[in-house]
A and B are shown apart, each in its own frame.
Chain A
Amino acid sequence: MSVISGNIDTRVADLRSVTDEALRLAPAKEAEVIIFHRDTALTRFANSEIHQNVAERDLTVRIRVVDAGRFGVASTNSVDADSLRRAGELALEAARRQPVREMTPPLAPPAEADPPPIDPATAAATPEDRASLVAIICADAEARGVSAFGALSTGINTYAVANSGGLFLAGPRTIANLQVATIAGDGHGYADRASIHFADIDAAAAGEEAIDKALNTRDAGAIEPGVYPVVLEEAAVAELLEYLSYIGFSGLAAEEGRTFMRLGEKITGASIHVWDDGNDPSGLPMTFDFEGVPKRRVELITDGVATGLVHDMASAVRFGVESTGHGLPAPNPIGAWASNLFIGGGNAGSKADLLKGIERGVWVTRFWYVNVLHPRQSLLTGMTRDGTFLIEKGEITRPIKNMRFTQSVMEALAGASAITRKQKLVAGSDYEFTQALMVPAMRLDAFNFTSVTR
């Protein structure tokens, strides 16, 4: 087989034949095979024209063999018998060069998981389809004297997990993701849209949102750094949540003493509810993990109390619980990964409602270059970007220069005094396994800005 192609059913059948073959050739009784098949494309634009436009098709087979309690992993992106056999042998060699482990997590038992909803139109979107949407944005921007930048990606990733215990799960995932940045003189704007459905991507609306913002952020002035109430738009909330996930939601993070999550304790405001649910179709569903465990909904923070952690097979064994279906491909040094995150909505009917009662505060469109200063304190730093405004007496009054924040996120969320009812889907950083963040906008009563940029 040279490549996986055809419709979704054919893809899954093709993947099954590869996992069967890889397991048959694996030189050990216990083995696990993971396949990642990527068939994606991305159209990128800058200065209101398409400047990079790419497509990539790849299939990687990852084989884990278990030998006397030890495991080794090898991967190849060739699916002929010789390559699969060699990968199995390399994995076995890796396993046998290790000291015997006291405790090795078992392979996942056979299970069933409904395939996630997908959209064949997203998988089949053509360069012309993407160019048509980009053309709308660029034309609208040019007409208003603004330059448009951004990326529109479409495609289908198909995953399969099988093991020698009889497990086989496979499922595709379609994602259409649009990011628009705009520049008007010294003004900058931003908007994004993500969905499993290509048809949901409203390029004109996203373009208009970003264009308006760029025009409204021209001639920004600086304000003094300090503690301000803030309104965070969804992209800004999503950025913070992505980092919370990175530093603190896994069982391994708790074991290693590097998380802000103290189970059973109130760690933030009572209005904060965070959970992970890979089966919720309003996100970017993925119904099983990379160990072949069906995903469960996990309540992470409920009414401000830390209520749960996500587990893979390894941390589940150590905690004496069952995996929650959040495993990454082995070997995995960072632990289980919450990749379908939700923050519960509140009572605010719109983002404009969040402004009410703010005497002097800051409106943040999104954050940039966030990094961790102290994981236990959920202390992060980063910059605002692409639309930062001063709020005075409950109204946005003028654009302000971007500022650096240095803030404990749990402390900030403790001051969440208003949250929009409606959530928005934000696709996480563009890495191998796109994270889905379904979040509301919110008002936080105190947020520490430590400096201002030029």
Chain B
Amino acid sequence: MLDLAQRALDRAAAGGAGYADARYVQTRHQEVSVKDQAVDGLTQDESEGIGIRVLVDGAWGFAASSAMTGPEVEATVEKALAIARASARVHHQAVDLGPPVVSRGRYQAAFEVDPFSVSLDTKVAILLEAEKAMRQAPQVRVAEASAECTHWRKLFVSSEGAEVEQEAYETGAGIECAAVDDDEIQKRSYPNSFGRQVGQGGWELVEAMDLAGAAPQVADEACTLLTAPPCPSEVTTVILDADQVALQVHESCGHPVELDRVFGMEAAYAGTSFMTPDLLGKLRYGSDKVTILADATVPGALGTFGWDDEGVAAQRAMLIDRGLFVGYLTSRETVTELARKLPPGSEWLPAGSMGSMRADGWGRIPLIRMTSINLEPGESSLEEMIAGTEKGILMRTNKSWSIDDRRLNFQFGTEIAFDVKDGQVGQVYKNATYAGITPDFWNSCDAIAGPAEWRMFGLINCGKGQPGQTMRVGHGAAPARFRDVRVGIS
């Protein structure tokens, strides 16, 4: 494969490319789902191909093909070159990638049990047991359990001399059920919504979940929700459990610090950002309890790798430092662009890309994507936060999410909520929502749970780009408390 990739670079150079990279990606994916005590789906997918990115006259071209032959790869390079020449027709400023990146090496993510070595019989049995346990609750109309595993292998080479190989397993599972009566439908899931919780690692991640053990409570809560009162509409204290904090971090911090968004590269689709470069070092994004990092080095997280898809080494970068906005998710190109926007010698200009360029498979270009965006743990605990709350609502597990195109106005819903009164958790509420404006919300944070309750979540459906790309990202989060938050729907 290295020969084909190198051949692509040679052809690109001969065709006039000032820079070129070639990225071969091979993926193997298995997914098992059960429903109604039957296997609802069992798929095994394999895909490979090569994507070639070239700069000609300072403008980008990219082409990709699944046909892994020399002539087809060369034809793909020619297509990329022609596309780049067309780009140059409507292009003002030559792309500047900054200093060369010449990474070389190999990355293998840690795992204990190869998930593809576990028999399908075992996987199906685990899922059927969990699904059956949820069905014991009489009002559960739909119960589902699923597991998945992926193995990916990547080779990246560039005309600057970078050559890196990487591979990892990603494995996960989850259960969910819907309870239904004449008037209502309510859903609960475990260990996370969006189908399942996935991490970088092997089958040991699924074994640790104890899906069947969690199933009765999941089903009971779904049934309880059917007759629960709706979340009141008021301004109150909100305590978010860690799974909802992860989603809050994703939407209201992870996306607005993507520097391509800030520069308008996503304006037509995903939108822009309120976190503009002039606010670096000035915007009080959150309270002094709030520190958020982008960390591509955390073992086991979905956003962890050796090098990004530009060959830049994985890094740990500060985004929000004790409430102050200090950094972005970057690419090579956007860092040089940032240098043109900041005053000379600005302390907020990074030395180079912090390495967040990733592509969805071989057929799409790398974009700035979240790695693992983590809210650092605080010093409190969920128990302590509840005990210290005179009146409020505890919300758990995301159900709906919506935020404006500048990432300011958000409204999120959770599967379940609980009344908190005089330091005690009380009755269940259904259809819980909370809303706010991003910096106001984070500035109202007065407590974050400590390391003992900090967990890494894997989000597998982050969408961005045109054509659309789906990325898998990590979020470390702990329960947190926020004051004076609008809840419910008025």
The answer to whether A and B belong to the same complex is: yes
Q: Please, which residues of chain A bring their CB within 8 A of the CB of B387? A: none
| B43, chain A: closest CB distance, angstroms | 4
Query: Contact: A99 with B38, CB < 8 Å?
Result: yes
A224 at the B interface (CB under 8 A): no
Q: Please, which residues of chain A bring their CB within 8 A of the CB of B39? A: 70, 97-99, 101
Partner of A373, one of B64, B142, B413: B413
Q: Please, which residues of chain B bring their CB within 8 A of the CB of A147? A: 264
Q: Please, which residues of chain A bring their CB within 8 A of the CB of B59? A: 50, 53
Query: Contact: A54 with B365, CB < 8 Å?
Result: yes
Query: Contact: A50 with B90, CB < 8 Å?
Result: yes
A111 at the B interface (CB under 8 A): no
Contact A149 to B178, CB < 8 A, known contacts A127-B83, A402-B409 = no
Stretch of B201-209, B320-328, B344-352, B397-405 at the chain-chain interface: B397-405
Stretch of B99-107, B266-274, B451-459 at the chain-chain interface: B266-274
| A98, chain B: closest CB distance, angstroms | 4
Stretch of B4-12, B120-128, B293-301, B305-313 at the chain-chain interface: B120-128
Bound Cα distance from A40 to B466, whole angstroms: 12
Q: With contacts defined as CB atoms under 8 Å apart, how many contacts are there between chain A and chain B in the complex? A: 275
Chain A stretch 28-66: residues in CB contact (< 8 A) with chain B: 40-60
B263 at the A interface (CB under 8 A): yes
Query: Contact: A54 with B364, CB < 8 Å?
Result: yes
Bound Cα distance from A59 to B47, whole angstroms: 10
Bound Cα distance from A114 to B90, whole angstroms: 40
Bound Cα distance from A19 to B271, whole angstroms: 41
B341 at the A interface (CB under 8 A): no
| B388, chain A: closest CB distance, angstroms | 28
Q: Please, which residues of chain A bring their CB within 8 A of the CB of B119? A: 97
What does the 1/0 interface line of A415-454 toward B look like (CB < 8 Å)?
0000000000000011100000000000000000011111
Partner of A60, one of B47, B72, B91, B468: B47
B180 at the A interface (CB under 8 A): yes
Partner of A53, one of B60, B274, B433, B468: B60
Query: Contact: A57 with B41, CB < 8 Å?
Result: no
Q: Please, which residues of chain B bring their CB within 8 A of the CB of A49? A: 90-93
| B46, chain A: closest CB distance, angstroms | 5
B: number of interface residues (CB 8 Å):
86
Partner of A94, one of B44, B60, B363: B44
Q: Please, which residues of chain B bring their CB within 8 A of the CB of A376? A: 184-185
Contact A97 to B42, CB < 8 A, known contacts A127-B83, A131-B90, A373-B400 = yes
**Nearest A residue to B124 by beta-carbon distance?**
A97
Partner of A75, one of B45, B124, B263, B431: B45
Query: Contact: B363 with A58, CB < 8 Å?
Result: yes
Query: Contact: B66 with A150, CB < 8 Å?
Result: no
Q: Please, which residues of chain A bring their CB within 8 A of the CB of B83? A: 41, 53-55, 127
Query: Contact: B82 with A127, CB < 8 Å?
Result: yes
What does the 1/0 interface line of A89-120 toward B look like (CB < 8 Å)?
01101110111011000000000000000000
Bound Cα distance from A451 to B120, whole angstroms: 49
Query: Contact: B433 with A44, CB < 8 Å?
Result: no
Query: Contact: A430 with B468, CB < 8 Å?
Result: yes
Q: Please, which residues of chain B bring their CB within 8 A of the CB of A217? A: none
SS class, residues of chain A in contact with chain B: strand
Query: Contact: B86 with A369, CB < 8 Å?
Result: no
Contact A74 to B400, CB < 8 A, known contacts A56-B63, A56-B467, A257-B141 = no
Chain B stretch 450-490: residues in CB contact (< 8 A) with chain A: 466-468, 486, 489-490
Query: Contact: A256 with B402, CB < 8 Å?
Result: no
A333 at the B interface (CB under 8 A): yes
Query: Contact: B468 with A77, CB < 8 Å?
Result: no
Bound Cα distance from A366 to B283, whole angstroms: 30
Query: Contact: B46 with A76, CB < 8 Å?
Result: yes
Query: Contact: B128 with A99, CB < 8 Å?
Result: yes
Bound Cα distance from A372 to B71, whole angstroms: 48
Query: Contact: A373 with B431, CB < 8 Å?
Result: yes
What does the 1/0 interface line of B30-67 toward A look like (CB < 8 Å)?
00010101111111111111000000000111111111
Query: Contact: B268 with A58, CB < 8 Å?
Result: no
Query: Contact: B264 with A72, CB < 8 Å?
Result: no
Query: Contact: A74 with B90, CB < 8 Å?
Result: no
Q: Please, which residues of chain A bring their CB within 8 A of the CB of B64? A: 54-58
B144 at the A interface (CB under 8 A): yes
Q: Please, which residues of chain B bring their CB within 8 A of the CB of A369? A: 401-405
Query: Contact: A180 with B268, CB < 8 Å?
Result: yes
| A265, chain B: closest CB distance, angstroms | 14
Bound Cα distance from A158 to B268, whole angstroms: 27
Contact A406 to B489, CB < 8 A, known contacts A54-B83, A57-B66, A95-B42 = yes
A397 at the B interface (CB under 8 A): no
A282 at the B interface (CB under 8 A): no
What does the 1/0 interface line of B256-280 toward A look like (CB < 8 Å)?
0000000111111101001000000
**Nearest A residue to B120 by beta-carbon distance?**
A97
| A366, chain B: closest CB distance, angstroms | 10
| B402, chain A: closest CB distance, angstroms | 5
Q: Please, which residues of chain B bring their CB within 8 A of the CB of A59? A: 66
Q: Please, which residues of chain A bring their CB within 8 A of the CB of B405? A: 368-369, 383, 385-386, 402
Bound Cα distance from A94 to B34, whole angstroms: 13
What does the 1/0 interface line of B151-193 toward A look like (CB < 8 Å)?
0000000000000000000000000001010001100000000
Can you give 29 contacting A-B residue pairs, CB < 8 Å? Answer: A3-B66, A3-B72, A46-B264, A49-B93, A50-B86, A51-B91, A51-B265, A53-B87, A54-B64, A54-B83, A54-B365, A57-B66, A74-B45, A74-B46, A75-B44, A76-B45, A77-B48, A94-B43, A97-B39, A97-B124, A127-B61, A149-B264, A256-B142, A257-B178, A368-B404, A369-B405, A371-B402, A383-B409, A453-B406
Which 10 pairs show the lowest CB-CB distances between chains A and B?
A331-B41, A127-B86, A453-B409, A97-B120, A94-B42, A257-B180, A98-B39, A181-B268, A149-B267, A131-B86
Residues of A in contact with B (beta carbons under 8 Å apart)? 2-3, 40-60, 70, 72-78, 83, 87, 90-91, 93-95, 97-99, 101-102, 126-128, 130-131, 134-135, 138, 147, 149-151, 153, 179-181, 183, 256-258, 330-333, 368-376, 381-383, 385-386, 402, 404, 406, 429-431, 450-454
Residues of B in contact with A (beta carbons under 8 Å apart)? 33, 35, 37-49, 59-67, 69, 71-72, 76, 79-80, 82-87, 89-93, 119-121, 124, 128, 141-142, 144, 178, 180, 184-185, 263-269, 271, 274, 363-365, 400-406, 408-409, 411, 413, 431, 433, 435, 437, 466-468, 486, 489-490
Q: A128-B86, A451-B435, A453-B404 are in contact. List 12 more A-B contacts (CB 8 A).
A: A43-B86, A53-B84, A57-B76, A58-B49, A74-B46, A97-B39, A98-B42, A127-B86, A131-B87, A183-B264, A331-B42, A404-B404
